[in-house]
Structure 1
Amino acid sequence: MDKYEVIGTLGEGSFGRVYKAKQLSTGNFVALKVISKRGRSVKELKGFRRECEIQRDLHHPNIIQMLDSFETENEIVVITEFAPKELTGVLNKEGYLTEEKVQQIVWDLVSALYYLHSNRVLHRDLKPQNILLDLENKAKLCDFGFARNMSTGTHVLTSIKGTPLYMAPELIDELPYDYNADLWSLGCIIYELLMGTPPFCTNSILHLIKKIKSEQIKWPTFLSPDCISFLKGLLQKNPSKRLTWNQILNHSFVKGHILISKSTVPMPLTSSLTASTKQVKEQQRKDSMNHKHHKGAVPKETDTKKSDSNKSSTGAIPKSEESKKSKEKQEQDKAMENLSKCLKEKLNFIEDNHPIEPEEWIVFLQKSIQEVMNGEMSSLLQPNLTNIIVSPLKNSNSNSKVLSFVVKLLSIAFVVKGTSEKTLDRIKKVYLEVKLLPNLIYAVKLLLRNLPDISNSSSGGLPATKNLETYKSLEKLDNEELQALEHIVMLVCHLVYIQDDFVLQFCDAIVILNVYSLINTLLGLAKRKLRISMDIISILTQTIRRLPENTEIIEKIVLNDGKTDSQLHLGEFLRNSNPIMRERSCIFVLLMGKYFQHSTLEKIWSLEIRDTLEALMFDSIESVRNAAEATVNDLKHKEFYMKSSSLF
C-alpha cells in the first residue's frame, strides 16, 4: 500500500469499499477495491479470487484494466485503472442519448464483448452501472463478479446471474444458456441509451418478468433502419435467432469500428460451431434440463435425539451402553456434518452484495401487493417469479423497508378473502421450492449483522475491518428494523404452523446458518416488540411438538449455544401482562419438560418458574389457567420439578 495514496471513497458495498488513489511512482489515478475476508465463507473468497484471476488476464482498451492485486491477513485488495464517469450518471443527467453518441458507445461495448467471448469469458451482469467512461468518453466494462470463464468443451451454463431488467428470457425461464445471454443484455443497454428506459420497464417487477417472457418490444420510429435492425437482431427472445458474432461484425451499424484483439483461446465462443460441436452442446443442454428435473427434495434432518427407552429408572445410562452411545453420537455428528454440507448446496445461501434501488423495489412491491389483494395470484404461483420477490432477502444492501414490503407481499395471500384452498396449497408448494423460510432466517441474519467498521489504518490508508459475524445490540435497533423483524418472524411463525415441511426447513436453516444465539437474542425483544418474542416462543414450541427428534436444536437456542448471556427469561415471560404470552410460555415449558434433556432443564429451571406456574393456575384468564394447570400436572412428578421443591 506504500505505492499508493488514498484520496477518497468512490463507492461502498457489503464487500468493502472502492477508493480513488494516486500511484506515487507515476502520479496516475487508480481505483482500489478493498474486500474484507473476515466473516466470508470459503466459497465467497474463492469467488473473489476467481474474479481477480479472470480480470487479471483481460487486456483490452474497452475493459477496465486490472493493474495489481494482493492479500493481507484480513483483506483482498484489487488495483484497477481509474475511469471518472459512470454511464448511469450520464443517463440520469441527460435522460437519453442521440443515436450518434450511442453508436460510438456501442462500438466500444461490442469490442469489449467480442474480446471476452473470444476468450471464452461470459460477463453475465451487463448493465449501465457496470460501464464506465474515461476522459475521452470511451466506454469500458467493469465488475466481473459474476463473470464465468467457460472451459473448452463447456457450451451451456445454468446458474442464474444478472439483473432482472437486463436478464435474458432463457434465464428468466431457468433454462441452460450461453454467450447469447450477454448479447440480449447488450441489446437492453443500447435500447435504454436511445429511449431512456430498458425495453421492458414497469412499476411491478413481476410484470417485468412476464413482459420479458411474452410481450413484444415496442420499436421506435425515429431511429435509423441500421440501428433498428441491429437492436432487433440482439433482442430476439429465442437465443438461437439472435445475431451471431459473424453477423454482428458485418452489420452496417458497427462494421469497421470494432477493435479486434488477436488474443484468443482455442475454440472461442465467437466461432461458428461445427456439426459435431452443436451435437455436444445440445446434449449438454438436455443433460442440464434432466438434472434440474430430477433434483430431489432437501433430505430430512438426521435424528439428533435417540429414544431414552434404554435408560434406567433413575435416568442414568447403563455402563454397558456407554461405548455404544458414544459411537452413536460420533455417527450422528458425522451424519450432521454430511447433512450440513448437502443442505448448504440445497438451500443455496449465497449473499448478494450488489447494490439495489430501494425506492424502485418498494414501488414494485406496492404495486404487486395491490395485484394480489385484487385476487391476481399468478406471481406467487410460479417459482421463477417468486424467486425474484425473495431475492432481496439475500441481499445485504436491502434496507428494512424493502424487507418489510417483501414479507407483506409474500404474506398477503394468506389473508385475502376468497382465496381457494387449491390456490393456497400451490402457493405453499412454491414457497417450499424457493426455500422461502430459510431465506427469511437468512434475512434476519443480514439485517442484524454489524457492517464493517472501516477507518484509515497505518498501512497507507488501507481500511481496517471488523468481523462481519457480530450483531447489533437490541438497543441500537431502530423502529423500521424492529418492524421488519416483526413481519419476518410473524411469517415464519405462520409457515411452521401450516405445514411440517416448513418446520423442517426452519431446523435446516438454524443448523446451516449457525444462528442459535441470534434466535435466542430475539427473545430479548419482549420489552420493545413483544410480538417478536411471542412468535419466537411459538415457533420453538411448534418445532418441539412436530419434530421432537430435533429438540436438540431448540435446546441449543434456549442455552444460547452454550453461552452464558441467555435471553430466555422464562419467569418474566410467564408473568408478562399479555395473557397470550403467559399462555404460550406455559405450553413451551410443558414441552420442554417432556422432551429436553435432564441436564438442560437443570440449567434453566428455578423455584421462580415453578412458583409462577403454580400461581398461574389461578390466573384471571381461563386459557392461561388451563395451560398452567396442564403444565404443572404433567411436570410435578418430574425429578427436576420435585428437586426445586425440596430445596426450599
Structure 2
Amino acid sequence: MEKYEVIGTLGEGSFGRVYKAKQRSSGSFVALKVISKRGRSVKELKGFRRECEIQRDLHHPNIIQMLDSFETENEIVVITEFAHKELTGVLGKVGYLSEDKVQKIVWDLVSALYYLHSNRVLHRDLKPQNILLDINNAAKLCDFGFARNMSTGTHVLTSIKGTPLYMAPELIDEQPYDYTADLWSLGCIIYELLMGSPPFCTASILHLIRLIRHEQIQWPTFLSDNCISFLKGLLQKNPLKRLTWEEILEHPFVKGHIIIVTNTSAQPLTRPLSPNTSHAKEQQRKESIKNKLVKISSKNNEVQEQTTSCKPIKMKTSKQSDSSSIEANKKSLNQDSQNNNVPENSTKNTTPSNINGKTLIVEENSLNLNLKKDNSKNTETVNLGNQRKSSLNTFNFIEDNQPIETDEWIVFLTKTIQEVINGEMISLTQSTQTNVLVSPLKNPNASPKVISFVTRLLSIPFVVKGVTSSCLLEIRKVYSEVKVVPNLVYAIKLLLRDSGNDSSSDTTSPINSPLPLSAERYRRLSELTNEDFQTLEYIFMLIAHLVHLDDEFLIQFCDAVVVLSIYLLMKLFLSFTYKTSIRIVTDILAVLTRLMSRLPENSDVIEKTLLSSVDNQEMKQVNFVDLMRHSDSLLRERTCYFLIWFSRTQQLNVIKMFWNFTVKDTLEALVYDSIETVRNAAEYAVSELKNKDYYKEVK
C-alpha cells in the first residue's frame, strides 16, 4: 500500500470499498478495491480470488485492466486502472442517450464481449453499473465477480448469476445457458441507453419474471432500422434465435468498428460449433436438466417437521386481504416473425405508447392469457425505469457472519425499546439507524432471543399510544427502504436452517436472482425450543401487520418468498393446527388472503405453497377441514375468508384438489358457529361459493 496515495472513496458495497489513489512512482491514478476477509466464508474468498485470476489475464482496451493484487492478513487488495465516469452516473443526469452516442458505446461493449467470449469467459453480470467511461468516453467493462472461465469441455452452465432486470429468460426459467445469455444482457443495456429503462422494468420480482417470460418488447419507432435490427437480434427470448457472433460482426450497426484482439483459446465461444461439439453440448444440456430434477427431489425430501408456540404482541390485521440497411431491415422483419416475443400465429394490433416523450409501437397479441390483467400497467411499468434506484437493484440477501454478542445486543435493544416506548422514535425514523437494528435478522449467529427483541422493537410504534400519524408514515417509509419484511422472512429461514448443514456459502454472496437457493436442511421439530417458537410468532405477526398497512410491504413479502424459496416452510407452518399456539397459522392466512385480494397477479405464490411436493411423511398437506374445526375462532374465521379469495384467484384444477364434501359440509356448519364473526365469515363464503360448479358437484 505504500506504493499508493489514497485520495478518496469511489464507492462501497457488500464486498468492501473502492478508493481512488495515485501511484507514487508514476503519478497516475488507479482504483483500489479493498475486500475485507473478516466474516467471509471460504467459498466467498475463493470467489474473490477467482475474480482476480480471471481479470489478471484480460488485456483489452475496453476492459478495465487489473494492474496488481495482493493480500494482507485481513484484506484482499486489487489495483486496477482508473476510469473517470460511471455509465449510470451519465444516465442518471440525462435519462437516455442519442443513437449516435449509444452506437459508439455499443462498439466498445461488443468489442469487450467478443474478446471475453473468444477466451471462453462469460461475464454473467452485464449491466450499466458495471460499465465505466474513461477520459475519452471509451466504455470499459468491469466487475468480474460473477464471471466464469469455461473449460474446453464445458458447453453450458447452470448456476444462476446476474441481476434480474438484465437476466436472460433461460436463467429466469433455471435452464442451462451459454454465452448467448451475455448477448441478451447486452441487448437490455443498449435498450436502456436508448430508452431510459430496460425492456422490462418493474419493482416486483414476481411481475418481472412474468414480463420476461411472456411479454413482448416495445420497439421504438424513432431509431434507425439498423439499430432496431441489432436490438431485435439480441433480445430474442429463444437463445437459439439470437444473433451469432458471426452475424454480429457482419451487422451494419457495428461492422468495421469492433476491436479484435488475438485470443489464446483453442476453442473460442465465438466460433461455430462442429457437429461433434454441438452433440456434446446438447448432451450436457440434457444432463444438467436431469441433475436439476434430482436435486429438486432431494430438496423436497430434506424438509423436516417443525412448529411454533407463544404469546404475541397483539395487533389488528384486516380480514381481506435497417445495399446493408435494406438487408438489415429484412432481417429485422424476419426476426419479428420468428421472435418468440411475438407468437407467430398471433393477431397483432399496434398501439402507441410513450416513454420519456418518445413514441413506441406496442405489438399486442391475443395470446397473453392470464397476463391481460397487467396490460394496464405497461406504461407505468416502463416508466419506473427512470427511478435509478429500483428495489430490484438493492434487494439482496447478504449473510452477515460476524460474531454477535447476545448479552451486549440485549442490553442495547432493551435500552432502545425503552426509548421508543417513551416516544423517542429517532432510531426508527432514520434508515441508517434502523439498518443497524435490522442487521441481526441476516446474521445466522444471532440467537432467537436477539431476533425476538429486534422484532418486538420494530413492532412497538404500532401498539403504543401517542405516536403521531406523520411519525408512523415516516417509520413505514423507513421500514420499506431498509426492507424490514424481506429481512424478517430471511430471519425465519436462518432460524430454522440446520446449523450442521454447510449451506451458508449459498447465501453469503449477494442474491440478485428471483430463483431458489440450493437445497438446505432444516431443524427437526424436536430441536426447536420455546424461544424459537416465540420468535417465529413475533416475526409472522409483524409481517402480517405491515402487509396490511401498505401494499409495498406485500410486494416485498412476495419477492422474498420467491428469492428465498420458502414455499415448503410456509406450508409447514400451515399444517400445525394441532399445536397449542395457532397464531402463526392465523397470521400466515391473513398475509396470503391479503396477497390474493390486493395482488391477485401474484397468486401463484399461494399455488406453489399449497402444492409444494411433500415426500417427507412427517409433513402434512394443508387441511382446510382441520383449520375450520379448530377451537381457535380467529383461525376458523380467517380460513373462511381465505377460501373466498382462493376460489376467486386460483385455477379450477387447483381448487378441486382441496375441495371435497367434507370441506363443504364443514364450511356450511360454521354458519351456525357460536361466534358471530365466524358465522358472518362462513355465510359470506357460502354465498360466494354456492353457485360454483365444483361446489354443487360434491355431495
Please give the TM-score of this superposition, normalised by the length of structure 2: 0.49
Instruction: Classify the secondary structure of the residue corresponding to 2:497.
Output: helix
- Per-residue CA deviations over 1:210-229 (Å, capped at 9, x if unaligned) read 12112111211111111111
Aligned to 2:270: 270
Q: After alignment, is 294-303 or 129-138 more displaced? A: 294-303
Alignment root-mean-square deviation, CA? 4.7
CA contact 2:191–2:198 (8 Å) conserved in 1: yes
Matches of 1:450 and 1:93 in 2, distance apart? 36
Aligned to 1:282: 282
Q: CA deviation at 1:486?
A: 8.7
Residue 508 (str. 1) matches residue 511 (str. 2): no
Aligned to 1:181: 181
Query: Which structure: larger Rg?
Result: 1
Instruction: Classify the secondary structure of the residue corresponding to 2:22.
Output: strand
CA contact 1:168–1:184 (8 Å) conserved in 2: yes
Residue 69 (str. 1) matches residue 69 (str. 2): yes
Structure 1 residues 492 and 265, CA gap change in structure 2 (3 angstroms)? closer
Aligned to 1:89: 89
1:324-335 maps to which residues of 2 (within 5 A)? none
Matches of 2:444 and 2:17 in 1, distance apart? 14
Aligned to 2:47: 47
Matches of 2:399 and 2:179 in 1, distance apart? 28
Aligned to 1:161: 161
CA contact 1:301–1:508 (8 Å) conserved in 2: no
Matches of 1:468 and 1:18 in 2, distance apart? 27
CA contact 2:438–2:487 (8 Å) conserved in 1: no
Q: CA deviation at 1:202?
A: 3.2
Instruction: Classify the secondary structure of the residue corresponding to 1:258.
Output: coil
- Per-residue CA deviations over 1:201-251 (Å, capped at 9, x if unaligned) read 235432222121121112111111111111111111111111111111111
Q: CA deviation at 1:87?
A: 0.5
Question: How many pairs align?
Answer: 394
Instruction: Classify the secondary structure of the residue corresponding to 1:63.
Output: coil
Instruction: Classify the secondary structure of the residue corresponding to 1:69.
Output: strand
Residue 14 (str. 1) matches residue 14 (str. 2): yes
Matches of 1:215 and 1:302 in 2, distance apart? 38
Residue 221 (str. 1) matches residue 221 (str. 2): yes
Aligned to 1:144: 144
Aligned to 2:251: 251
CA contact 2:12–2:18 (8 Å) conserved in 1: yes
In percent, how many aligned pairs have the same letter?
A: 65
Instruction: Classify the secondary structure of the residue corresponding to 1:126.
Output: coil
- Per-residue CA deviations over 1:586-627 (Å, capped at 9, x if unaligned) read xxxxxxxxxxxxxxxxxxxxxxxxxxxxxxxxxxxxxxxxxx
The one-letter amino acid paired with 1:127 is K
Aligned to 2:234: 234
Structure 1 residues 544 and 133, CA gap change in structure 2 (3 angstroms)? farther
Structure 2 unaligned spans of 5+: 306-369, 375-390, 401-434, 460-474, 505-521, 543-572, 581-631, 633-699
CA contact 1:87–1:128 (8 Å) conserved in 2: yes
Matches of 2:303 and 2:105 in 1, distance apart? 54
The one-letter amino acid paired with 1:76 is I
The one-letter amino acid paired with 2:276 is S
Instruction: Classify the secondary structure of the residue corresponding to 2:220.
Output: coil
CA contact 1:396–1:447 (8 Å) conserved in 2: no
The one-letter amino acid paired with 1:394 is F
Structure 1 unaligned spans of 5+: 304-371, 377-387, 398-443, 452-466, 496-501, 533-538, 547-579, 581-648
The one-letter amino acid paired with 1:149 is N
Aligned to 1:261: 261
Instruction: Classify the secondary structure of the residue corresponding to 1:294.
Output: helix
Structure 1 residues 22 and 267, CA gap change in structure 2 (3 angstroms)? same
CA contact 1:187–1:231 (8 Å) conserved in 2: yes
Q: CA deviation at 1:478?
A: 6.8
Matches of 1:176 and 1:114 in 2, distance apart? 21
1:394 is aligned, of 394, 397, 409, to 397
- Per-residue CA deviations over 1:552-600 (Å, capped at 9, x if unaligned) read xxxxxxxxxxxxxxxxxxxxxxxxxxxx9xxxxxxxxxxxxxxxxxxxx
Instruction: Classify the secondary structure of the residue corresponding to 2:63.
Output: coil
The one-letter amino acid paired with 2:439 is L
CA contact 1:39–1:469 (8 Å) conserved in 2: no
Matches of 1:294 and 1:530 in 2, distance apart? 32
Residue 192 (str. 1) matches residue 195 (str. 2): no
Aligned to 1:29: 29
CA contact 2:191–2:231 (8 Å) conserved in 1: yes
Q: CA deviation at 1:302?
A: 10
CA contact 1:486–1:531 (8 Å) conserved in 2: no
Matches of 2:83 and 2:487 in 1, distance apart? 44
Q: CA deviation at 1:263?
A: 2.6
CA contact 1:14–1:396 (8 Å) conserved in 2: no
1:170-569 maps to which residues of 2 (within 5 A)? 170-295=170-295, 296-298=297-299, 300=302, 392=395, 394-395=397-398, 447-449=438-440, 507-512=496-501
1:581-592 maps to which residues of 2 (within 5 A)? none
The one-letter amino acid paired with 1:3 is K
Matches of 1:205 and 1:67 in 2, distance apart? 38
Matches of 1:87 and 1:242 in 2, distance apart? 25
Instruction: Classify the secondary structure of the residue corresponding to 2:69.
Output: strand
CA contact 1:39–1:468 (8 Å) conserved in 2: no
The one-letter amino acid paired with 1:167 is M
Instruction: Classify the secondary structure of the residue corresponding to 2:40.
Output: coil
Instruction: Classify the secondary structure of the residue corresponding to 1:297.
Output: helix
Q: Runs of at least 4 residues of structure 1 off by over 3 A?
A: 202-205, 298-303, 388-393, 444-447, 467-493, 505-516, 518-526, 528-532, 542-546
Q: CA deviation at 1:487?
A: 5.6
- Per-residue CA deviations over 1:46-104 (Å, capped at 9, x if unaligned) read 11110010001001000000010011111111111111111011111111111110110
Q: After alignment, is 194-203 or 294-303 more displaced? A: 294-303
Structure 1 residues 524 and 274, CA gap change in structure 2 (3 angstroms)? closer
Instruction: Classify the secondary structure of the residue corresponding to 2:11.
Output: strand
CA contact 1:7–1:22 (8 Å) conserved in 2: yes
Matches of 1:2 and 1:172 in 2, distance apart? 46
Matches of 2:530 and 2:186 in 1, distance apart? 48
Matches of 1:98 and 1:450 in 2, distance apart? 45
Aligned to 2:600: none
Matches of 1:93 and 1:391 in 2, distance apart? 20
Structure 1 residues 145 and 530, CA gap change in structure 2 (3 angstroms)? closer
Matches of 2:485 and 2:182 in 1, distance apart? 38
Matches of 1:482 and 1:94 in 2, distance apart? 30
Instruction: Classify the secondary structure of the residue corresponding to 2:231.
Output: helix
Matches of 1:492 and 1:90 in 2, distance apart? 35
Matches of 2:130 and 2:64 in 1, distance apart? 10
Structure 1 residues 172 and 482, CA gap change in structure 2 (3 angstroms)? closer
Matches of 1:51 and 1:233 in 2, distance apart? 30
Instruction: Classify the secondary structure of the residue corresponding to 2:191.
Output: helix
Instruction: Classify the secondary structure of the residue corresponding to 2:12.
Output: strand
The one-letter amino acid paired with 2:182 is D
CA contact 1:35–1:75 (8 Å) conserved in 2: yes
Matches of 1:475 and 1:85 in 2, distance apart? 40
Structure 1 residues 491 and 28, CA gap change in structure 2 (3 angstroms)? closer
Structure 1 residues 101 and 269, CA gap change in structure 2 (3 angstroms)? same
Matches of 1:485 and 1:104 in 2, distance apart? 38
Structure 1 residues 521 and 26, CA gap change in structure 2 (3 angstroms)? farther
Matches of 1:66 and 1:520 in 2, distance apart? 53
Please give the TM-score of this superposition, normalised by the length of structure 1: 0.53
Matches of 1:207 and 1:95 in 2, distance apart? 24
Matches of 2:302 and 2:444 in 1, distance apart? 30
Aligned to 2:60: 60
Instruction: Classify the secondary structure of the residue corresponding to 1:132.
Output: strand
Aligned to 1:107: 107
CA contact 1:38–1:468 (8 Å) conserved in 2: no
CA contact 1:9–1:18 (8 Å) conserved in 2: yes
